[in-house]
Amino acid sequence: MENIHPDFDKFASRKTKEALLNQKGMVIWFTGLSGSGKSTIAAGLDRLLVKKGYVTAVLDGDNVRTGINNNLGFSDEDRNENIRRIAEVAKLMVANGLITLCCFVSPLNAQRKLARSIIGKNDFIEVYVNTPLEVCEQRDVKGLYAKARKGLINDFTGVNAPFEIPDNADCILETKGKSVEQSVDEMFAYVLAHSSVNKIIS
């Protein structure tokens, strides 16, 4: 490490890029059980933000694990490293002015606090997608809960691995009884009200 000398000053600044994009770079970090609706809501929010003229990026659990983190498993150590790498990538995106949507179970408060510390508290919005376990199991579009209940998947969050209710969430999104569209609209309104985005949307 002693021979590594990061030099970001010679590149165009974040302020310059945000001015060009007419938006504030930030991370919206969706956490919740598998099947809670994180990716579905984030996808809807992403499409709506783009439609309104924002420039976004999306980091999603399965996509990341098939790429940059394909060498990681699901041990405690690997889960922590998974979150650390994602946070570092998201931090780079924010530095380039992008609104970055991150969709990860990130089951432990310590993992979410790590992500917040890496990205920076002023650029980090933690959204807890609060969907009851029984609803997540009813959806189970990937069949993961069924496999975990049969003992075919070990360390599956919500079944044989813990999920800690966020103790520092900026937004709690209750999804039970709501349509996807309602949840997306709620998130869009929250982002506009709390993110200090500069662009005015008509």
Does the annotation count 106 as an active-site position? yes
Give residue-wise pLDDT tens across range 120-169: 999 999 999 999 999 999 888 788 989 999 989 888 898 988 899 999 89
Catalytic entry in 34, 36, 39, 106? 106
- Does residue 32 lie within any of the structural domains? yes
Reported pTM: 0.89
Query: Is 141 within 8 Å of 38 (Cβ atoms)?
Result: no
- Does residue 48 lie within any of the structural domains? yes
**pLDDT at residue number 196:** 58
- Does residue 105 lie within any of the structural domains? yes
Residue 25 has pLDDT above 80, yes or no: yes
- Does residue 150 lie within any of the structural domains? no
The 10 Å Cβ neighbour count of residue 130 is: 18
* Residue 50's CATH number: 3.40.50.300
- Does residue 97 lie within any of the structural domains? yes
| Total domain count, the chain | 1
Q: Which structural domain range is residue 72 located in?
A: 15-132+165-191
- Does residue 153 lie within any of the structural domains? no
Give residue-wise pLDDT tens across range 75-132: 889 989 999 999 999 999 999 999 999 999 999 999 999 999 999 999 999 999 999 9
Which among 48, 30, 58 has a CA at the least distance from the CA of 181? 48
* Length reported for the chain: 202
- Does residue 110 lie within any of the structural domains? yes
Pairwise CA distance, residues 179 & 185, whole Å: 10
Which among 141, 49, 170, 44 has a CA at the least distance from the CA of 98? 49
